[in-house]
Amino acid sequence: MRVRQISFTGVGRVAVTEAEVREDPGDGEVLIAVSHVGICGSDLAVLGGHHPWTRPPVVTGHEVSGHVLATGPGAHRLQPGDRVVLNPLRACGSCARCRQGAVNQCESAAVRGYRLPGAAMTRLVVPERELHRVPPQVPAELACCAEPLAAAWHAAGRASQLDEVAVIGAGSIGLLLLAALRRRGAGPITVIEPDRGKRELARARGAGQAAAPGGLPPEPRFTAVFDCVCKPATLDWAGRAASAGGTVVAVGVPSGPVVIPLPRMQRYEVGLLGSGLYPPGDLDTGISLIAAQAVDVAGLISGIYPLDRVAEAYARAGQADSVKVLVAMP
């Protein structure tokens, strides 16, 4: 069958293209109707040509919700009609990290929309094991936010001392991280964000304070600093603002190597950790938190655009005051 998909056809160019998809799912596979696709900062990095390793042309989409249309032989867990969220990571399953459950650290893994074609397609055939069931009461547009929430939940767990926390960037990951940190019992959380509306959103969602870059008193100290931006200036600030023995967590996607204030970090034993995707259990946690209304994701949605207005959707997602933009698939 012919399906429509969202393609980055060149740097800065997004278009709806067509592809052929098998109608009958094979062994262990499931055919789904995609209902919503979330636009992520890392998608915008690909579209803008500054992602570290993925360049257009590529089919985009890794934050995807929908429902099951048909199941193939050997797919027994899901039923037609079930609402689902896609896990965009495909790991090898056999390396040392995979065997220990840290599948997001698999060096052979590929992610949809990056090293694998994306999932922003009106219909999609996927292995059943890559789908997570969502309770029927969760609206599909909220279900699709379980994917970034899983990433934020995982990132929040990367630092062990959460006595006094800073989060750089109040986009969707920063604001979901704020929620995840509060759920994990973090102490006062300071958010650093240039956009005034997003700072207000951060305060309304429980940040102890929200400041513009450069707006904090000199030499602040945090036991954990989460950098959701990972530009040279933010990582430099993070390395200087972490307390002795504290941790910097790089959550955002950097566009290339950056210099860190290593002399201070070496002397005062400041750790630097990455956070990239998450093991599948965190996606179930994200779904549960949304289903229980324990994390407000509706309040993060800046706009939902139909597929026919896809260019507008990506333009909106790139604006400074935008948090989470979704595309509703027909």
Residues that bind Zn ion (CB under 5 A): 40, 91-92, 95, 98, 106
Pairing of strands 63-71, 165-168: unpaired
Q: How far is the CB of 179 from Zn ion (least distance, A)?
A: 16
R_g of the chain computed on alpha carbons: 20
Nearest approach, Cβ of residue 129 and Zn ion (Å): 14
- Answer for the pair 178, 167: CB distance below 8 angstroms, yes or no: yes
Cβ-proximal residues to 41 (8 Å cutoff; 6+ apart), any chain: 171, 172, 173, 252, 253
- CB–CB of 178/295 below 8 Å? no
Question: 92 or 258, CB closer to Zn ion?
Answer: 92
Which residue lies nearer to Zn ion by CB, 92 or 272?
Answer: 92
Shortest distance (Å) from residue 239 CB to Zn ion: 25
Minimum CB distance to Zn ion smaller for 157 or for 187: 157
CB of 211 or CB of 230, closer to Zn ion: 230
Q: Which is nearer to Zn ion, 7 or 190 (CB)?
A: 7
SS3 12: coil
CB of 76 to Zn ion, least distance (A): 25
Q: List residues bridging with 16 in a β-sheet.
A: 6
The DSSP code sequence of 248-311 is EEE-S--SS-----HHHHHHTT-EEEE--S--HHHHHHHHHHHHTT-S--GGGEEEEEEGGGHH
Smallest distance, Å, CB 174 to Zn ion?
13
Smaller CB separation from Zn ion, 43 or 193: 43
**Considering the complex, what minimum distance in angstroms separates the CB of residue 92 from Zn ion?**
3
Report residue 35: phi and psi, to 5°. -105, -40
**Residue 320 zone, left/alpha/beta (φ > 0; ψ -120 to 50; rest):** alpha
Strand pairing class (242-250; 271-274): parallel
* Smaller CB separation from Zn ion, 260 or 326: 326
CB of 95 to Zn ion, least distance (A): 3
Least Å distance, CB 41 to Zn ion, is 7
Burial profile 195-218: b = 16 or more Cβ within 10 angstroms, e = fewer: beebbebbeebebeebbeeeeeee
